[in-house]
Structure 1
Amino acid sequence: MDNLNQTISFALAKITTEQFAIIENDLSLDSLNLESNFRFAADKEKKMVGVFAKFSFSSDQNPFMIIECGCHFRIQPDAWEKLLSKEENSITFPKSIIQHLTVITVGTTRGVLHAKTENTKYNHLFLPTINLQEMITDDHKFTF
């Protein structure tokens, strides 16, 4: 499906902060860990795809900061129709477009994290670069 990537037009329609929490703990900066999780959703009526990126910072196995942001992308109607399978009541997006939308979402989350931690002791923490080509290896099918 990667050849369709060139014809999929989209716009970032909305950004949401799904969750943000700082849990005050005694931190050991020697043993920081970062876990990431991504989830995806589609809205058939609005022709939108949501990409959600969640990151959990922990120290000595204890989480101390959690952030999850969502980017909601409006897909151009012609592109949506090309990807839609009416027989299966589903839509399948090529992995390359899902990777691209996820890169945008991670970058957005990085900015939200900076804004939420500005002028705090946590502002030195950031989201590193992530190789999403290794994490997202297949096309993504949404069934309605």
Structure 2
Amino acid sequence: MNLEYKLVNILTEQFAIIDNVYKEGIESSTKSTLGYNFAEAVPLIKASIRIELLQDDKLFLIIKAACVFEIEDESWNVIYDNSSNTVTLPKIFACFLATFTMNTTRGILHAKTEGLPVHSAVILPLTSFEEIVKEDVVIVLAK
């Protein structure tokens, strides 16, 4: 199935560096969350990624970024179920949206930390979403 779409917005929904937590030379760890949402009235899908960077279990940086994609009407009719108010993203398409959003988040993170001491610690590893998104993603619109 070939879905037609276009990127219509990039959002930095959250960004913070917690002062006095980051220490150079100490290994950092990452916690990530992937989410999808849609609006009932318009054919838009939002993919968002939230990343927390920690050292010794202490949060030193948080970023949440999202990409909003407009879905072409014919494609929307394929993935949107009006009776259940759900959108079903085929696994391959869901992985693509996640990968695009993660790469965008990397760029935002680079721009926001360039020239800061944390910059070298915020290089995010490559992520294979095919291992994370194991099946089609069904999004239920919250009432």
TM-score by length of 2: 0.91
Structure 2 CA distance for partners of 1:131 and 1:93, relative to 1, 3 Å: same
Over aligned residue pairs, what C-alpha RMSD do you find?
A: 1.3
Say whether the 8 Å CA contact 2:22–2:118 is kept in structure 1: no
TM-score by length of 1: 0.90
Q: Distance in 2 between matches of 1:143 and 1:61?
A: 33
1:96 counterpart SS class: helix
Q: Distance in 1 between matches of 2:109 and 2:82?
A: 39
2:6 maps to which residue? 11
Instruction: Name structure 1 gaps, 5 residues minimum.
Output: none
Say whether the 8 Å CA contact 1:21–1:67 is kept in structure 2: yes
Report the CA distance between 1:135 and its aligned residue.
Answer: 0.6
2:72 maps to which residue? 76
2:62 counterpart SS class: strand
Counterpart amino acid of residue 127 in structure 1: L
Say whether the 8 Å CA contact 2:24–2:117 is kept in structure 1: no
Instruction: Name structure 2 gaps, 5 residues minimum.
Output: none
1:53-104: CA deviation from partner (whole Å, max 9, x where unpaired): 0111100000101111010110011000012223323221101101000100
Counterpart amino acid of residue 4 in structure 2: S
Say whether the 8 Å CA contact 1:28–1:59 is kept in structure 2: no
Report the CA distance between 1:116 and its aligned residue.
Answer: 0.2
- Please list, as runs of the form range in 1=range in 2, the aligned pairs for 1:1-144 lying within 5 A after superposition: 4=1, 7-24=2-19, 25-27=21-23, 29-124=25-120, 125-144=122-141
